[in-house]
Amino acid sequence: MVRLSLAFFLITVSAVGAFAPPMTQQPRTTALSAASVETPPSPLTAWGERVSDIRKLQQEFKKQKLPEFAPELKASSLGLEGKQDAQLAYFKENAMEIKQMMQDHGAVVIRGFDLMKEQEGFQQFYSAIGMKVCQDPLQSVSARPTADGKKDSPVYEAVNKESRKNFFIGMHNEFVGTRAPRAAAFVCFKAAETGGEFLIADGRRMFRDLDPNLVEELYNRNIRYSVMELPFFGWVDNFPKPLQAPLMGALKGIVSTAINAKVDFSVEMLWGEGGYDSTKMLQARAPSQPPIVVHPISGEPTWFCNVHSHSSKLRKDRESKYGAERFEDGASQINKSDMFFGDDGEISDEQLKHMDEVTMKNVRFVKMEEGDVVLLDNYKCMHGRNVFDGTRKHAVAWFEGWEGEEEMKQAKKVSEKKAAPFFMK
């Protein structure tokens, strides 16, 4: 049995480089290859300044009247139905106004524009309003399928697989490791026959509504994600007890080196147990980070925490309602996530339940039809996806920023000089 275990160990180590999901065979962008890639990588996450008293900030924030979240922009209300040329002209002429709506309201739901029913028109739309496209942040780890199947396409699939139709995608901001796009545009090319709604939630309202004690504890202790589980090491128990500790140390070092060579952020490997039989596993944890950030333009505090999608407990609770995900390959089982306090402490079931309740209270279900687009600020607006039946084809483009962003920042500075907003005092 020991010989078999050693053979499996060698196979496991040699396969570590393949642990990222084998979605497509796209090359990872590195510092050397970035210059040759037309689409720039997703920008580094802008965490903003540290807040000295998060409880006081939340108390003040509760007194403020927030703008309407995710207003709708309809072609029918503008007299533009069925007029693609006029629709494109409208977007060009009103580009700054649309981006300001996204900035002020967190998201804009754009409905009834025939222009965006096909990928070419969708790309014309976001180019017309001056959005600066970037790579999927997942590119630093693996490659997400593109909507048209072309290698260098800037439009990516938005989790349409039939095998994941009963998997409720929890609310999250898009970021991987150290990278987060500033904005995104989600488009519907074909709506699912049943369900499949695109879900959005305002991070500012999340921050406002959460329990102050929990907000303070999460912010002061930070949060930390487990981004991968490798449940392949039960065979270590077959070794004599005196040999297990040094063997586990060696395994941890080898796997850590292999994984950190593949991703562009620091990953720490920790031993744990998983499954019904408590099999030994290695868990990859990302660096700790704040659950609340100061917005890069407005300076507003906003919830920037993926507990709703990453918590193992919340996912299991949803499985009892929707059924378990049907895994297609081992990669899906490896890429299991969880969330902890930044010091690796466990978040209680009661705390998780509260965050789930506040999240769902703020979720808006957006039933999109062909050509509909949700343009969102990735720092202010969380997103997710409901379960579905039928065939669903939604896609997404990520943006590093937009034309006029610096002008928005300068305008904000001018207004602050006249009257500093409460959250900057």
H helices, E strands: number in the chain: 13, 19
**What is the dihedral sign for C-alpha 405, 407, 408, 410?**
positive
Instruction: Please check the confidence at residue 108 and state whether its pLDDT lies above 50.
Output: yes
Q: What is the reported pLDDT for 212?
A: 98
The tens digit of pLDDT for each residue in 159-170 reads 888 888 888 999
* Tokens matching residue 304: 């920037």
Whether the Cβ atoms of residue 296 and residue 281 lie closer than 8 Å to each other:
no
Instruction: Give the span between the Cα atoms of 166 and 123, in whole angstroms.
Output: 30
Instruction: Copy the structure tokens of residue 339.
Output: 């969330």
- Per-residue pLDDT tens digits for 309-326: 999 999 999 988 887 665
Average pLDDT over every residue of 337-359:
96
* Unique residue bearing structure tokens 């991987």: 176
pLDDT interval class at 117 (50, 70, 90): very high
Does position 419 have pLDDT exceeding 60, yes or no?
no
pLDDT over 50 at 2, yes or no: no
Which has more pLDDT, 66 or 19? Answer: 66
User: Is residue 27 over pLDDT 60?
Assistant: no
Q: What is the value of pTM for the model shown?
A: 0.85
Least confident window among 258-267, 295-304, 367-376: 258-267
Least confident of 16-20, 282-286, 410-414: 16-20
Q: Cβ distance 371 to 177 under 8 Å?
A: no
**26 Cβ partners below 8 Å, 6+ apart?**
139, 143, 151
